[in-house]
Structures are given as structure tokens and as C-alpha cells.
Chain A
């Protein structure tokens, strides 16, 4: 069964600190892996999209890495800000998902940044 597992479930850090969120998936083969940021009660906003052949992708203070051999991805946030408080969701698209449109979402990691 195609699954996406994220850890930790929740995380509290102090403003200015760095943090790393983890994503393990069993989807194989896959087309791409995405990270989204979702504020409470709002729609997700894309942070990065990586194809299976990419190892890393950055978007400002967000850096995503991908290890297709171990089926793991991480999202590293540098110099956290209060506005980073949100849920971060890992999404994997199965190869051939283009015709199925079936993106598989993790449950997300809820990040709280405290002053």
C-alpha cells in the first residue's frame, strides 16, 4: 500500500533556531515529491517539488532533500521565524499518477515557533 509517513507529529522550537522534518514513503515507483506549508484553516502552499532524480531543492530558508534509495525526504528550515508556525505536509506522486491524479499526502508535522 502506498503510504507517506511524517515525523515528528508536532514540534516546538524557539525563533531563530533551525529544524528538520522527516518524510518516509513506500510509494514506488514515484514521479515527484513535494513539500507544502499549510496554515491553520487555509489551503496548502507549495514549497518545493523534486523529481525522483533530484537530491535537493531550496526555496529561501527551506531546503528539501531526497534519498530515493532509502525512500526518505527531509525539509530543513533555517533561522525559523514566527510565521513558520504551520503544518508541513509531504506529498508523493506515484509514477503514472499523471493519469490518475492521485497525490498521496502525509498527515503533516505541526510546527510551532515560539518567541
Chain B
């Protein structure tokens, strides 16, 4: 186990609703990255938080937003859910920015289904 936890494990929401996913980073890590993984695809980078500030964002609309707290845990919020938002959402923590050669430790993911 990596020490990175995510909650909830599974979630079912209706189109148009809002959802909040949570991630607790590994002890000593100050960086959390979020990814969306559709079935049969590789993970797609959503954004990264470094020391409580967003530090890099992928090609996702503004309805995807996040927070990082002083203890470096993080939340991913998605507003106005669409059917295509159904995916496995992964968070990864690291001791530094993800683009550098810092090891990334992934959580088990949250499976979101939008109906």
C-alpha cells in the first residue's frame, strides 16, 4: 500500500449534480496531482497542487476545481456533472512537483458513475 487514501471508493451521481472527491497524501508529501482515467484509457492529468496552490492544469474545463489543505490533503470538485465524467479518478502524492523525477504514489481511486 502507498499510504495514499481516497474517498469515497465508489459514487453514483446524476447528470447536473456536483461531486467532491477526497485524497489524503502520504506523510511528508507536499504535492498532490489528480487524474481522470476513462475505461480502457491511460490517466489524463487534471491538475496539480503544490503547497496549497494550483501548479499546473491539464485540458479540463473550469467546472473541475480543487483545493489543497495545510495538511496537504486535497479535494477535487466537479460541478454540473456530465455523462462523460464517468471514470476512475486517481490522486497521486509526491515529495515535489510531478514533472520532476519525484516518485508519485497513487491512491486506489474513486470510481464515479454519472447517470
User: Which residues of A are interface residues toward B (Cβ below 8 A)?
Assistant: 4, 31-32, 41-46, 49, 51, 89, 93-94, 96-108
Contact = CB atoms under 8 A, between A and B. Distances in A.
B109 A41 contact: yes
Interface stretch (B12-20, B35-43, B62-70): B35-43
Interface string B82-102: 000000101010001111110
B44 interface: yes
B74 to A, nearest CB: 13
Interface residues of B, number: 34
Nearest to A110: B40
B51 interface: no
Contacts of B111: 41
Nearest to A106: B42
Contacts of B35: 105
Given A45-B2, A106-B42, A101 B98 contact: yes
B42 A102 contact: no
Given A43-B90, A43-B109, A31 B104 contact: no
B88 A41 contact: yes
B108 A42 contact: yes
Contacts of B2: 43, 45
Given A41-B111, A99-B56, A93 B43 contact: no
Nearest to B32: A101
Contact of A93 (B55, B98, B103): B98
A94 B109 contact: no
B106 interface: yes
Q: Kindly name the residue among B42, B96, B98 whose own CB sees the greatest number of chain A CB atoms within 10 A.
A: B42
A56 to B, nearest CB: 16
A19 B108 CA distance: 27
A14 to B, nearest CB: 25
A101 B99 contact: yes
B99 A94 contact: yes
